[in-house]
């Protein structure tokens, strides 16, 4: 019953974030700036500490840093390969239109891991489960914004954006359900999270930040990025 409630809550939080991004499309540069900070905040304040905590005593910290570099490099290679081979055309700035879907897919998989983490935490104890669930809920709103932004920032296709948003909203439920069929140890989950740290660092630094600043190099875009980081930091801190 508790898991069902958490599933509904994560789906609502993600959906509200995505709809917020669609509604304020004209202010997309500010939302992108916020998203860049939020993605960076999730990587540095949520995923990285959790990865270190889960692998502590089992794997050396150097392996964590190596996997962060691997996640960054693999995403960069895939992103650039798709940029070179895509036949979907380019936007008016010359940017390929396929990258946004790749980023959205990465965010959906991250939401899947969120659900996985929530369910595993509840298996440890209800108290830990609620702490993890609260941390996930607080940044699921940003996940919804980020997923929609990945799709509409070039093409502006709301129908496709809503499909990815639905996938992102349902992904935590799939992750929770997966724990009933697949056993994943804490240290292994920590290693997976470290890969996503690198991936999210790339998305923020190489995609969202330049995109938000490209046509609107205003101070408020930078402020939005800082606010995005601060919101995630506050949410994770309060959850703990």
Within 10 angstroms of residue 104's Cβ, the number of other Cβ atoms is 24
Q: Which residue, chain included where needed, has tokens 């997309």?
A: 28
Domain housing 213: 2-239
In this prediction, the residues of the chain whose per-residue pLDDT falls under 70 are: 1-3, 21, 24-28, 79, 81-103, 121, 124-125, 127-128, 131-132, 134-136, 138-139, 142, 150, 152-157, 207-208, 210-217, 239-240
Number of domains in the chain: 1
Q: pLDDT per residue over 5-37, tens digit each?
A: 777 887 887 787 777 767 766 666 777 788 788
Q: pLDDT per residue over 75-107, tens digit each?
A: 788 767 655 544 444 444 444 444 566 667 777
Rounded Cα–Cα distance for residues 62 and 92 (Å): 42
pTM: 0.64
Q: Which residues contact 44 (CB under 8 A, 6 or more apart)?
A: 197, 229
- Rounded to 10 deg, the angle between the 2-23 and 158-178 helix axes is 160
């Amino acid at each position: 019953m508790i898991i069902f409630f958490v599933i509904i809550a994560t789906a609502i939080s993600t959906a509200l974030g995505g709809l917020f991004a669609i509604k304020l499309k004209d202010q997309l540069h500010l939302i992108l700036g916020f998203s860049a900070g939020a993605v960076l905040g999730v990587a540095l304040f949520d995923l990285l500490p959790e990865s270190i905590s889960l692998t502590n005593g089992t794997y050396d910290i150097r392996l964590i840093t190596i996997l962060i570099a691997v996640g960054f490099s693999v995403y960069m290679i895939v992103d650039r390969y798709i940029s070179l081979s895509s036949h979907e055309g380019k936007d008016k700035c010359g940017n390929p239109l396929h990258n946004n879907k790749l980023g959205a897919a990465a965010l959906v998989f991250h939401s899947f891991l969120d659900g996985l983490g929530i369910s595993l935490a509840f298996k440890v104890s209800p108290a830990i489960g609620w702490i993890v669930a609260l941390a996930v809920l607080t940044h699921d709103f940003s996940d919804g914004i980020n997923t929609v932004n990945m799709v509409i920032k070039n093409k502006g296709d709301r129908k496709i954006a809503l499909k990815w948003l639905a996938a992102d909203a349902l992904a935590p439920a799939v992750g929770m359900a997966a724990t009933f069929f697949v056993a994943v140890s804490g240290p292994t989950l920590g290693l997976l999270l470290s890969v996503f740290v690198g991936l999210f660092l790339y998305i923020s630094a190489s995609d969202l930040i330049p995109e938000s600043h490209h046509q609107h190099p205003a101070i408020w875009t930078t402020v939005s990025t800082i606010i995005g980081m601060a919101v995630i930091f506050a949410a994770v801190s309060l959850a703990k």
